Structure 1
């Protein structure tokens, strides 16, 4: 492990804070822009859409209130990794200028639901993407799949897929964030959580070597439900997705789950608007960061 990655590991392991999820990709970007006050008739095609979302992300990342004192890491989409912020590669800007650990979303989206889950699509170019991440000083990756129902076979297959790819990522000296999201609207959410925890612990126990992984989980129905995962020797950190909860709801749930920290996307940018003055924008962002930071300290 090089010196920069050793410092990043130390920061994620020991410092208070949370991880900003700035990784909306093709499917979720229009909604993110709409919430920011940019309607779909304001751009034509993917290039213009990604230009606008990069402007939004740049405004967040370059704000004085967005820095490594409260934000541990930020998850980027590949399109952002390929762009610059204030003349620097995005990942380099995060670490060198902000002391924020860069992560990269590597999944290519989801296949159709089967056995109550949506597995990840194939990633034929994963090796090349991981090499690029390493070249740009990225610390870790994130990949998401979704659980809709408490189907034991489906959940086991989903977790097996996540850990199989995680081993490839670990072999490239990157730290994977494994994200088996449970839909917060699932009629079987609590039962799905029980099956997921069993499957996660089995895979963690069997994980070879001494390199840890991270988990990104839906906030559970019962407080401290994932404590065994948080304390597992193969787990660097367990982070929580907001999953459709409001920021206030998600913060309350993070506070109630000791040892979990936030990794919010929509709940982080809630209330930010393109139309705000820089002063109003920075104040709204500062308030959001502070509330999420305090929730993550519990």
Structure 2
């Protein structure tokens, strides 16, 4: 071997090998250091769905089919004047109150079908009072229940509920509703009709009287060209079979004509009454055809 020829250093003695090794080592240490905090943060964000809180009870009731509305935080309405209240959630169908103690919750349970209290939870039932026992069962179970049986006050009430469930048109539904015993009408309306979406047909009686609405006569017979002014003053016996539809968009009136058949989809906002001669009112309406 020539003296001038340099002896090659082993690769592990070269400076750049050690630089790479140090970088890799720091990378491994960093990944190990970050692993544990990630696990801890996962534990912190994991939600307990078994405790008696207003949020959990809302989920239990919704999954059980007892309520359908979205949760709205109403705590600020009760904090100052309701002792021990922690949180209140409303849906339009119920108000769910969470208290600090079971004794505080129980104090507001007045009995009957409107209220139920269990542990730290008190529920005011606005709609669905006929299902009071089911609300109680869900609370006592502390979880959603899917085998709940719907209870009815009478066969007539059951008929109205089934007509709504099956998407009945206006006339068969209101005839069944008007046939209810007087002491069941309010509860039946609140539990099975109010704020429910319907698809109803009828004859257009007026397109001009109410700016954003159309007046529809829903009885198959008995319409002879009357407009809203005539119906509401001289032909009030027609009112229980009239539904006024407030449209989402006034432009939906385009192409419609008085005396023609129309089908609308909307949400029930107020009920008619045969004795008092009141009409029905629908909101968020859309013209289907």
TM-score, normalised to structure 1, is 0.26
- Rg comparison, structure with higher value: 2
More helix by share: 1
TM-score, normalised to structure 2, is 0.26
- Greater relative CO, 1 or 2 (CA 8 Å, sep 6+): 1
